[in-house]
Structure 1
Amino acid sequence: MRTVLVFLFVSLSGLYPLLGMSHGENDAPKPRLWTCKYGEFDLPENMIFPGGSKEKLQTISLLFHFIDFGERRILVDVGCDKFFFLGRTAEHFIRPDELLRKNGIAPETITDCLITHHHDDHIGALASFPDARVYIQAKEAERAKKLLYGRAVTTFDEQLELFGGRMILRRVGGHTSGHSVVEIPLACGQVYVIAGDACYSPDNLVRKIPTASTGNAAESAAFFERYADPKYRILLGHEPTAPFGGNGIREVIHGVEFVEPVRWGGGRRIFAKDPGCRGKACNDIENQKSLILERAQQIMAQPGGKEKIYLEASGNVCEAAVRAYRERPDLFRALAVSDVPATWRGVKGGDVWQYVVEGERMREIVEEGEYVRTLGDVFKTAEGATVDPVSGDLFFSDFMSDEILRWNEADGVRLFKRPAGHVNGMLFRKDGTLLACSMGENELRLLNRDGTDRKVLAKGFGGRDFNGPNDVWERPDGSGWYFTDPFYRWKEWSKYAQPPMDTKQVYYVTANGEVIRVTDDLVEPNGITGTPDGKTLYVADHRGRKCWAYSIDENGRLSDKRLFCDIGFGTDGMTIDADGRLYMTAEDINVWDRNGEKLGVIRIPEFWCGNCCIGGPDKNILYVCGKRGVYSIKLKVRGVRGFAK
């Protein structure tokens, strides 16, 4: 893993050039904020949230924050010089001062250090910044007095406003008696909150439960009440999935969030995302356009040829993206947007699509003007989309969080089951019971409507455990189930370091419990579905990069293996509509007609899709699980499964 500085770069109050400072009201410099990762550590779940497993581990990030006001260079927490906890050292560790220097920031230029609490991974490296003034809550200062000896220190009891009110240190307690958070108010009304150890991870934030390591549970719980308003944007203390380095860098600039990778779908890509800011300062279209063009020029200057760029945009940056696209056709190959700005509604050209690109026949499937909705986007790894035939609720798994969740229009996202066996693919049966592929327990299981386990349908074959069932399809008459069994190892919870099976294939489970291996020559099967008449099975071979079709006999055996389509890239889940079109997930949702001809692509605002299904009252809503989010788009066609009105 390559350690780099920038995880999240936020414009906190308006617009300014990418590499420079600008000035706004009262000529106040506008800050730049980075979250800096200096190591990783595997922590037992029971230290992250109450009731977590002692055996299961989550990889957390060791973080501090760097803020540049121009005249002041500030650290919020400073990390530690060495890390040793629970008898182990951190992985990918780099000293915080070395990390800063590596990225062109001289440690001696740091003017201020704001400390959330006295624990070593937050204050241990303070000596690396000898000229900085330290701001710390009084009780925490007493616990850290050896590190503070001879330093310029400012203490406080409950609250301290700094730098003309541009930053606020506020005691919240809980984790430690004087634990503080840092609030950074924006001109548009939003407030960024650097949480320290008041909130470790998405598990704590989404479920609104304190970290397990708390000295005062009531104060820890009060944190979530205080910062429940959507105006607060929480920067987590130990974000487990913080995507530093490689293709995972996220960068927020002046009201535009650019999501990488830049290599994507056989070409280069920019995705300009709405960061959620609704203030006037975050909606300067011309500046947003300039930033998009600047990013495009940076990408074109990189090695790898001069092919044009795919441009995607969502929310309040769509208008800027359209202007950039039309102004510089020499830079962009195609444009997809998630919203229709009023200024160009009705005058949209054939070159501007809404998350439906590459393929005129996609007009058969998605009405012009439809757009992708975001149903939720705070998950670790969303998967297993399926619709309850009784309630109509969408169910999906977040297998890294070991949860099954449900969504409907009225209630939003709710927890259905945890722990869930690290479930991946799921499928509702007509009676409302739920088929679930448990990668954590290496089995195919059946759940009752209330989430309780009904029974294990298949645990292994030939005296061996399965590698980890991934996706499942039921024959239309309910007489048996097909599932894929690839092998994906997750160091946090996988039972096996190597595949327990000697091959990765497809299995069929009969209603009486017989397990049959029905393929023998696939590389790594993943997605699976079948036709409504139950006569054809489709299997996506992820590593083989092909989708195969099989004929199904009355006993469930497969024959007449034939190539359905040569995908050309790895694919994940799939679903089918009533007319036999296949929807396959990968970097996008790729749509194929029943003859294996590719019709086009539906894009979502992420760089990977894991699974999809069709549901809704009229069986015409395509639900898609991305890596971090769950999305929907209305179709002109109907799916096979749904629910009665």
Structure 2
Amino acid sequence: MKQWQVHAIKYADRNARTRADSFIFDDDHGAAHGMDYFMWLLRCEDDVILVDTGYDSAEAVRRDRPIRLNPVEALAPFGLSPTDITKVIVTHLHYDHAGGLHLFPNATLHLQAAEMAFATGPCMCHDTLRMPYSADHVCEAIKRLYAGKVAFYDGDAEVAEGVTVHAIGGHSRGLQCVRVLTSAGWLVLASDAAHFYENFEKRKPFPIVVDVEAMLKGFETLYRLTSSPELIIPGHDPLVQSYFPSDLAPHITRLDRGRSK
């Protein structure tokens, strides 16, 4: 079976946060707690899969959440142009994971059907549930659907040899994680099934949540899918760049060989 290289690509960070923004039932809600923003690139010979797209400068201005690198610039060290990307796994449609869909016009999107239904359905009448979504990004996914460039999944599925997606929910209705076969074993890109190591290691739910029970069960799913807990990669933890070696550029971290520390 194919073994893939896996790269975490940091494009933004936000340090004006506290632990109250990251954990429910935390003992020190007032302590500072920064967050990194990533997308991920999978490579195996000539095959390339992008997992999530980050968000662009326009969205950064709208939300007053600056980015360090436009997603296209962040991919430049790989020698890839936006048109080279033909397959994007969208873990969910929140702005920071699907805000760059329009930047990759040739890509087919791989998405849970439950996520599209959630992002376009009556739940979006509620400000709290709608907050992490942007209409432009959801509309881009719909345009891609009408162009015949969306592959929908209902649960667990194989996207490519050695790459599978698994429905988890919790943080959003149709959130999925990505399981990848690497030389170090089965690695799991948790995306927002676990923003931080502490979420799944200490079973602390993240405050932006649709279904707390599904989020807690999702932590167990992450452990079940991986060859080693050290190969569970949370979606926003700055520790990722400390645990794994940099590769190609300071904002790129190589995940598939295991931890360096």
Task: Please indicate the TM-score interval, normalised by the length of the shorter structure.
Answer: 0.7 to 0.9
SS in structure 1 at match of 2:74: helix
> What is residue 174 of structure 1 aligned with on the other side?
170
Identity among equivalent pairs (%): 22
Per-residue Cα deviation, 1:191-240 (whole angstroms, up to 9, x for no partner): 21111111011221321222121110100000122233562421110013
Q: Shift in Å at residue 250 of structure 1?
A: 5.8
Q: Shift in Å at residue 138 of structure 1?
A: 1.0
5 Å matches for 1:270-285?
none
> What is residue 191 of structure 1 aligned with on the other side?
186
Q: Shift in Å at residue 162 of structure 1?
A: 1.6
Amino acid at match of 2:152: T
Q: 2:152 aligns with which of 134, 151, 155?
A: 155
Unaligned 5+ residue runs, structure 1?
1-27, 260-605, 607-645
CA, structure 1 residues 93+187, in 2 after alignment: closer, same or farther (shift >3 Å)?
Answer: closer
TM-score with structure 2 setting the length: 0.76
Q: Shift in Å at residue 163 of structure 1?
A: 1.7
Distance 1:181 1:87 in 2: 25
**Residue 201 (str. 1) matches residue 196 (str. 2):** yes
SS in structure 2 at match of 1:58: coil
Amino acid at match of 1:30: Q
Q: 2:10 aligns with which of 37, 40, 57?
A: 37
SS in structure 2 at match of 1:239: coil
SS in structure 2 at match of 1:98: helix
Distance 2:183 2:32 in 1: 40
> What is residue 128 of structure 2 aligned with on the other side?
none
SS in structure 1 at match of 2:192: helix
> What is residue 121 of structure 1 aligned with on the other side?
96
Distance 2:30 2:155 in 1: 38
Q: Conserved in 1, the CA contact under 8 Å of 2:223 and 2:232? A: no
> What is residue 46 of structure 1 aligned with on the other side?
20
> What is residue 137 of structure 1 aligned with on the other side?
112
CA, structure 1 residues 41+71, in 2 after alignment: closer, same or farther (shift >3 Å)?
Answer: same
Per-residue Cα deviation, 1:280-332 (whole angstroms, up to 9, x for no partner): xxxxxxxxxxxxxxxxxxxxxxxxxxxxxxxxxxxxxxxxxxxxxxxxxxxxx
Q: Conserved in 1, the CA contact under 8 Å of 2:113 and 2:153? A: yes
Q: 1:239 aligns with which of 226, 237, 240?
A: 237
Q: Conserved in 2, the CA contact under 8 Å of 1:59 and 1:241? A: no
Q: Shift in Å at residue 145 of structure 1?
A: 4.2
Q: Conserved in 2, the CA contact under 8 Å of 1:72 and 1:110? A: no
CA, structure 1 residues 79+252, in 2 after alignment: closer, same or farther (shift >3 Å)?
Answer: closer
Amino acid at match of 1:67: L
Q: Shift in Å at residue 187 of structure 1?
A: 7.6
CA, structure 1 residues 85+170, in 2 after alignment: closer, same or farther (shift >3 Å)?
Answer: farther
CA, structure 1 residues 256+227, in 2 after alignment: closer, same or farther (shift >3 Å)?
Answer: closer
CA, structure 1 residues 249+34, in 2 after alignment: closer, same or farther (shift >3 Å)?
Answer: closer
Distance 2:165 2:238 in 1: 24
SS in structure 1 at match of 2:42: strand
> What is residue 43 of structure 2 aligned with on the other side?
68
Q: Shift in Å at residue 31 of structure 1?
A: 1.9
Amino acid at match of 1:158: G
5 Å matches for 1:402-441?
none
Amino acid at match of 1:36: I
Q: Shift in Å at residue 103 of structure 1?
A: 4.3
> What is residue 219 of structure 2 aligned with on the other side?
224
Of Structure 1 and Structure 2, the greater helix share is in 2
> What is residue 68 of structure 2 aligned with on the other side?
93
- Size of the aligned set, in residue pairs, is 228
CA, structure 1 residues 129+84, in 2 after alignment: closer, same or farther (shift >3 Å)?
Answer: closer
Q: Shift in Å at residue 157 of structure 1?
A: 1.6
Q: Conserved in 1, the CA contact under 8 Å of 2:8 and 2:252? A: no
CA, structure 1 residues 187+73, in 2 after alignment: closer, same or farther (shift >3 Å)?
Answer: closer
SS in structure 2 at match of 1:89: coil
Per-residue Cα deviation, 1:12-71 (whole angstroms, up to 9, x for no partner): xxxxxxxxxxxxxxxx65321100000101233112111345543311111010011233
TM-score with structure 1 setting the length: 0.33
Per-residue Cα deviation, 1:525-552 (whole angstroms, up to 9, x for no partner): xxxxxxxxxxxxxxxxxxxxxxxxxxxx
Amino acid at match of 2:32: L
Where relative contact order (Cα < 8 A, 6+ residues apart) is larger, the structure is 2
CA, structure 1 residues 31+176, in 2 after alignment: closer, same or farther (shift >3 Å)?
Answer: same
5 Å matches for 1:373-522?
none
SS in structure 2 at match of 1:99: helix
SS in structure 1 at match of 2:179: strand
Q: Conserved in 2, the CA contact under 8 Å of 1:32 and 1:67? A: yes
Two-structure CA RMSD over aligned residues (Å):
2.9
CA, structure 1 residues 250+103, in 2 after alignment: closer, same or farther (shift >3 Å)?
Answer: closer
CA, structure 1 residues 251+80, in 2 after alignment: closer, same or farther (shift >3 Å)?
Answer: closer
